[in-house]
């Protein structure tokens, strides 16, 4: 059965690209879309920033036709600001508006935004209601299991937010207190899926980093789809690999060196297209190592790539990488 958010048909068991600050920008989303992501989100955008017209926040609203369906994620601590930010973000033309109630980092959570709302569900409900009323778009929410081990209240969150009109919920199987430590636990996510009151799609998130895990957790936790974050960084093929496995029960071979180089060049080109030659080259620097993980003695190339400012020379270095490693085993066969 197809999973739907409002009128958006995501097909059977969609794979979502997680919102990630400083990562999920248009260049990264381009390669993930090519890799097979079914639904993508922007990184979170500050409601206050949008209202102040801060250039940095505004730029995060950039979305492109080929990215659809795409959601814009916002966060904040003030209900009126979230309402206003929803109106501003809706004008950018996304398919979905998403609210972040999961961010654990201090300067977000300690200012009453992100996961802090898990400590005040009444306020969370009011905030969500304000967002739902401020847009004609479907609203989705991303959150965690609860604030800490003693307050895992995501089931109450799911019921109450569904009642006021959210159309899908993604749950990261950790508490705020856990940050990113320990293992994600999806047990509670399954309980929500089994709750007969819950009708909206529920997506599982946290620690899915292989085809095997995606397949096992799909069965074990009964979710409607999976959101993948860190495992897609430098490896956008994860989406097509998981989908292929679901469809055929067989493993696709991993990307070849050439495919890695092509994806890396595409990411660089898109980065330059979006941010201009200077900033585009600079922002790409954090990604090189991820595309070539596992290549022996890659460090010297990485050092060259992250220092180089000339785009032609960067492509020449990538040519050298292609030549030097052409006879190295395919990545999937490396230990």
Ligand X SMILES: Cc1cc2nc3c(=O)[nH]c(=O)nc-3n(C[C@H](O)[C@H](O)[C@H](O)COP(=O)(O)O)c2cc1C
Which residue ranges make up the site for ligand X (CB under 6 A)? 18-21, 23, 43-44, 73, 100, 102-103, 142, 172, 205-208, 228-231
| CA angle (96 as vertex; 90, 98 as ends), nearest 5 | 90
Strands 96-101 and 70-75, by their bridges, are parallel
User: Which has the closest alpha carbon to 66: 40, 97, 99, 98?
Assistant: 40
Beta bridge partners of 144: 172
Q: Is 103 a catalytic residue?
A: yes
Which C-beta is closer to ligand X: that of 31 or that of 103?
Answer: 103
Which C-beta is closer to ligand X: that of 201 or that of 229?
Answer: 229
Shortest approach of ligand X to residue 20 CB, angstroms?
Answer: 4
Which C-beta is closer to ligand X: that of 19 or that of 94?
Answer: 19
Question: Which residue is catalytic, options 32, 103, 110, 264?
Answer: 103
Place of tokens 């390669």: 31
Shortest approach of ligand X to residue 113 CB, angstroms?
Answer: 11
Residue 237 and residue 239: Cα distance in Å, rounded?
A: 5
Shortest approach of ligand X to residue 305 CB, angstroms?
Answer: 20
Sign of CA pseudo-dihedral 225, 231, 235, 241: negative
Which C-beta is closer to ligand X: that of 49 or that of 301?
Answer: 49
Shortest approach of ligand X to residue 39 CB, angstroms?
Answer: 13
User: Which has the closest alpha carbon to 15: 209, 181, 265, 290?
Assistant: 209
- Which residues does the annotation mark as catalytic? 103
């Amino acid at each position: 059965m197809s999973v739907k958010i409002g009128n958006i048909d995501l097909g059977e068991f969609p794979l979502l690209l997680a919102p990630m600050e400083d990562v999920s920008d248009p260049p990264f989303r381009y390669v993930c879309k090519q890799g097979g992501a079914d639904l993508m989100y922007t990184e979170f955008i500050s409601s206050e920033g949008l209202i102040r017209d801060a250039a940095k926040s505004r730029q995060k609203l950039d979305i492109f036709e080929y990215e659809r369906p795409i959601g814009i994620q916002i966060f904040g601590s003030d209900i009126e600001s979230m309402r206003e930010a929803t109106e501003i973000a809706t004008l950018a033309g996304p398919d979905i508006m998403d609210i972040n109630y999961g961010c654990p980092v201090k300067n977000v959570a300690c200012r009453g935004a992100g996961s802090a709302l898990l400590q005040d569900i009444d306020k969370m409900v009011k905030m969500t209601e304000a967002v739902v009323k401020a847009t004609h778009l479907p609203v989705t929410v991303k959150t965690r299991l609860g604030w800490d081990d003693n307050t895992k209240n995501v089931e109450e969150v799911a019921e109450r937010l569904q009642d006021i009109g959210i159309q899908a919920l993604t749950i990261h199987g950790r508490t705020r207190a856990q940050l990113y430590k320990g293992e994600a636990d999806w047990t509670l996510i399954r309980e929500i899926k089994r709750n007969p009151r819950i009708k909206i799609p529920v997506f599982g998130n946290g620690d899915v980093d292989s085809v095997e895990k995606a397949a096992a957790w799909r069965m074990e936790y009964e979710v409607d789809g999976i959101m993948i974050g860190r495992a897609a960084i430098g490896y956008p093929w994860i989406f097509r690999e998981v989908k292929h496995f679901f469809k055929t029960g067989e493993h696709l071979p991993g990307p070849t060196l050439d495919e890695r180089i092509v994806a890396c060049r595409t990411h660089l080109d898109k980065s330059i297209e979006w941010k201009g030659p200077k900033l585009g080259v600079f922002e790409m620097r954090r990604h090189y190592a991820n595309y070539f993980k596992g290549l022996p003695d890659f460090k010297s190339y990485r050092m060259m790539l992250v220092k180089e400012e000339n785009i032609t020379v960067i492509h020449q270095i990538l040519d050298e990488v292609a030549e030097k490693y052409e006879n190295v085993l395919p990545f999937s066969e490396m230990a």
